[in-house]
Each structure stands twice: as C-alpha cells, then as structure tokens.
Amino acid sequence: MEIGDTKSESFELIEKLNEIGIALSVEKNTPKLLEMILKGAKTILNADAGTLYLATEDKKYLQFEIMMNDSLGTLLVSKPEEPIPFPALPLYDRVGNPNTTMVAAHAALYKKTINIPDAYIAEGFDFAGTRAFDTKTGYRSQSFLTLPMLNHENELIGVLQLINAKDPKTGKITEFSKVAQRIAESLASQAAIALTNNKLIGQFRELFESFINLISEAIDKKSPYNGKHCRRVPTLTMMIADAACKADYGIFKEFDLDEDERYELKIAGLLHDCGKVTTPVHVIDKATKLETIFDRIHGINTRFEVLKRDAEINFLNQKIAAIESGNLSIIPDLENEFQQKLVQYSSDQDFLRICNIGGEFMSDEYKQRLRKIAEYPHNWVSHEKDNDGKEKSKVETTFLSENEVYNLSIARGTLTAEERKVINDHIVVTIEMLEQLPYPRNLRRVPEYAGGHHERMDGKGYPRGLTREQMSLPARMMGIADIFEALSANDRPYKNGKTLTECLRILGKMKLDSHIDPDLFDLFVSEKVYLRYAHEYLDAKQIDEVDENDIPGYTPPFAYFFGTT
C-alpha cells in the first residue's frame, strides 16, 4: 500500500506536517533549521535518504547543505569552515543554457516538482552520478521526489530532494504517492518561508547593528577619545554577564541570559552613550581647564611676556635716568629688583600652567595665589570695535578675567560645573533617543539597560535617581563596565590610564560609598573579569600585580557560602 492511500494515513501526514511547520516557524538558527527541514521531510514521507540544496545569491548554482542516508548511516552537514565535498550544481552551462538534465537543477529552473519512481529507467535526466555513487557504496537509489523551495514571492530558495520512499509496513522501497507529493510540496513551501524569514531577520539585525556602529563611528570621528569607549563598554559588560551566568551563589544563583537576552544587553551596551552625538566637541575633548576651541593658557603666556617686557623697559629707563643723574649706586638695586620680578613672573607663569592641568584636588592656598595673580597691578586694556572695525571704546581689565579664574579654580578634572552638566546631559539625550525607537519584544529593555549606567545604588545618581532595587542586574553591570573602562582608558586627553590596582581600589571605595553594586564588584574581582579585559585592551604597563586583600570593600565569594556577608 502506498503512503497516504487511506484517509487515516493522510490525516496522520497532515498532523506531522503541522507539527513540523510549527517547529520551523520558531527556529532561528539557520543550520538547525535546514536540518529540521530535511529530517522532517524524511519523517513525514518515510524516506530513506535526502539532500537539501540552497540556491546561491545570484541563482546560478545549487549548493549542498545537508545529505542524509539512513541505510548508509551518513549525515553530512555543510559548515563555513568545512563544506560538503561536492561541487555546487550549475543551473546553467558555460554559454548560459539551462541545465535541464540534472533533476535538482531542472526542478529549480522550472520551479516544478519532479516525481520519479525509478531513476534507473527514467528518461530525460542524467543519473550517471547517482549510478556511480551506488556502485561505490552498494546502495540502490530508486524513487526520487525533487521539490523546489519557493517563498511567498515565488523566489527560489533551494531544492529539497527525497530518495527511496519506504512502505511503512514492509519497509520495501516504493514510489512517492500523489498525496505524499502534495504534503511534501506544502512542507517545501513552509520551509522556504521559514528560511526567508530567518534571512530577513538576519538582514534586519545586520542593518540595525550597522546603524549602531555608524553612531559609534560618528562619536569616534567627533571625538577620538570616546570612540573606543563606545565599543569597549559592551565588551566588558558581556564579560561581567558571562561571569554572573556561571556563578551559582547569592544573587547570581537564579541569574541566566538566553541568546535573545544576551543580544539585548549587547545592543544596549553599544548604544549606552549614543546621546554624546549632541555633546559639543570642545567639552568632550577639554584637555585643560582653559581649553575651548584652543587652550587659552597661550594667551596668558603672552601676557606674561608683556609683563617681562614692560619690567625690562622700566628697568632700562630707570637705569638711564640713574646714569644721567650720576646716581650710579642705585643701579645694582634696580637690577636686582628687575631680576626678582622676572623670577616671580616665571614662577607664577609655571604655577598657572600647573593649575591649567586637571587634577584630583586644588587647595585653598592655590586658589588664593590664583586670585593674587589675577589682580596683578597692571592696566590691561580691551579694545572694542564696531562693525566697520573702528575702535569705539577701551575697557580696562584685570590680568586674568573672571572666566579664566573660574576655570583655573576647578577643583577636580578640567570641567566647570556647567560643562559637567552638559556632559551629564548626554545620558538624558540617550534615554530620549532610545525611548523613541519601536523595539521588538526581545529588545524592549534596551533603554533601561543603556540609560542606567550613571545611577547609584543609593539613589544619588542621575538622571532618574534610581536605587539598586529599582534597577535590573544587567543595568548595574553596565555601570561597573562604564566606570572601569573610563578609569583604565589610556586615550583620554586629560589623564593617563590607571593601573589595575588603582582602578580596583577606586571601584572598591565606590562600592563602600554605595555607588556601584557590591555583589557585582565582588564578582568582577573574584572571577578576574578585570584581568581578562586588561589582557585584551590595556597597555602592559597598566597590568600590575593585584593584591585582592588590599582592595577596599572586597568580599571574596567563600564568604557567601559561610554566611559571613
């Protein structure tokens, strides 16, 4: 009895087809999908062997993807690094004529199913290769069902070929029935649509990631000091996530990320600073306290040269007057006074140069000296001009302007409070940008993950003042990754990259200060995530010997098991 001769058998085939169709619709991994298609077709039609081909992009060849043969116990799966060792089937000859003699090529070219009861007596097709295979292996290829896989646009995706239908009761090789052919055609159509959907999903994912990389590249071109940051933070975040997935204690005991959740976190990491596209370059790249479009310290240096010139002119005038009056005895005192002024000016000039470099602390003594220099007893005149370039007024100014004093008085770093706010506002812009995007279900948490890396565990962070309990674990991971990358980065204009010991000590203090997640910090240290990252991205001179006992606030993982945390 042929497959599908009875209503019950037809119903059973349809049920199997539905089951496989549902399975195909949810599988996202293309190699697995291809294997499911061929295995499913063999199961439904009770075929002994089969081959699945995919059409090349130019639709000129069919490439072998999977070959199965139950009797011979073979399974060949094409891999990028190890393709099936058979040449692709050409759909056209060298002069462009269609290849109609090979059954798989014929089915692909004319988009029609070919059902052959016995290949050895079939007419119109060349089965020389099949006969050679049979001779070599002792196999007997008999019935063939060759189906083009066409998607919803009738585009050729590939060819599904089944070999040797077996009678379900006797196991005897028989031909593929008409009902079996229609069932197989339905499966081939579903398979083609599933493969097309996978391809489209992959293309959209590639387009999305390319767009994200464009944003990172735009930030990179805008400021070379942040381009690497945008690419390294997601890498470090994923390293922390991997460590958290492997840990089986504390808050990590139930934590895990599937493939979609990992991709979601990766995308959030890539987008975590996208708002910096709106941040002015002169703020991002501010290497010194007086830098705007240029470093204004050079203008101050010019003023010092004017002071020294005026002091020299004054000394020479006094010296000439002393000579003319015959009062030569005062000349040594005049010269000594002049030299003292030069020394003082040079000292103050060096002092302002040091003040201009961003540091960790500026004392009140330094600020007082800065004010004293600003009020040098000298009438500096600013010449204001009208639109025609003619001078309209003169305004007397101090040696240092209030703005220059304000900038040079910055206690930490190089940014004023206003500039710091501009920098901090990038996260607000990031959130606003990301919340406008229509995310699919598997990316809906991207704004939360990307927008939380400046929050603190005690609720004193920004922009929303979230506490630890209000933040997800992945968002807290990104906070640590962002800080560690910034501390260790050796491409910033205002500082050198810190050593591992320095970075971990600072992070340890931030843990004690409720700035970062305490459990994640302990994991970061105990699993040596910092070291894996360092070997990949940091200079060798930054990778020093870390004494974990010296890290403030660090609690090793064994404390969790003995209840001492």
What's the mean per-residue pLDDT of the chain?
86
> Across-strand partners of 198?
none
- Residue 344, sorted as left (phi over 0), alpha (psi -120 to 50) or beta, turns out to be alpha
pLDDT at 506: 95
pLDDT at 3: 45
Closest to 220 (Cα-Cα) out of 276, 293, 282: 276
Mean pLDDT on 547-555:
93
pLDDT digits (tens, 9 = 90+) for 80-110: 778 888 889 999 998 999 999 999 999 999 9
The architecture CATH gives domain 7-201: 2-Layer Sandwich (3.30)
The Cβ-side half-sphere exposure at 139, using a 13 Å CA radius, reads 22
Per-residue tokens: 422 = 């501009």
pLDDT digits (tens, 9 = 90+) for 166-204: 998 899 999 999 988 998 898 888 888 888 888 888 888
pLDDT digits (tens, 9 = 90+) for 306-325: 889 988 999 999 999 999 99
Residue 389 pLDDT more than 70? Answer: no
pLDDT digits (tens, 9 = 90+) for 215-234: 777 776 676 666 578 789 99
pLDDT at 423: 75
Closest to 3 (Cα-Cα) out of 185, 169, 167: 167
Split at pLDDT 50, 70, 90, the class of 294 is confident
Phi, psi of 113 (to 5 degrees): -75, 140
Mean pLDDT on 146-153:
91
pLDDT digits (tens, 9 = 90+) for 336-371: 999 999 999 999 999 999 889 877 678 889 889 999
pLDDT digits (tens, 9 = 90+) for 53-85: 999 999 999 999 999 999 999 999 888 778 888
Residue 417 pLDDT more than 90? Answer: no
Closest to 490 (Cα-Cα) out of 545, 547, 424, 537: 537
Q: Could you give the percent of the chain with pLDDT greater than 90? A: 49
Comparing 249 with 278, the larger pLDDT belongs to 249
Q: Which CATH superfamily hosts domain 223-286+418-561?
A: Hypothetical protein af1432 (1.10.3210.10)
pTM of the model: 0.67
pLDDT at 559: 59
Closest to 279 (Cα-Cα) out of 211, 356, 215: 215
Q: How far is CA 336 from CA 218, 339, 343, 347, 523, in A?
A: 58, 5, 11, 16, 65
Split at pLDDT 50, 70, 90, the class of 382 is low
Element (H, E) at 389: none
pLDDT digits (tens, 9 = 90+) for 427-448: 888 888 888 888 888 899 999 9
Residue 390 pLDDT more than 70? Answer: no
- Residue 138, sorted as left (phi over 0), alpha (psi -120 to 50) or beta, turns out to be left
Per-residue tokens: 445 = 């948490």
Compute the C-alpha angle 13/15/18, nearest 5°: 110
Split at pLDDT 50, 70, 90, the class of 4 is very low
Q: Which residues contact 264 (CB under 8 A, 6 or more apart)?
A: 442, 443, 445, 446, 449
> Across-strand partners of 385?
391
Split at pLDDT 50, 70, 90, the class of 1 is very low
Give SS3 for 232.
Answer: helix
pLDDT at 563: 54
Give SS3 for 148.
Answer: strand
Poorest-confidence range of 337-341, 380-384, 387-391? Answer: 380-384
Element (H, E) at 294: none
Comparing 459 with 494, the larger pLDDT belongs to 459
464 exposure class (CB count in 10 Å sphere: 0-12, 13-18, 19+): middle
Comparing 26 with 191, the larger pLDDT belongs to 191
Residue 379 pLDDT more than 90? Answer: no
pLDDT at 378: 59
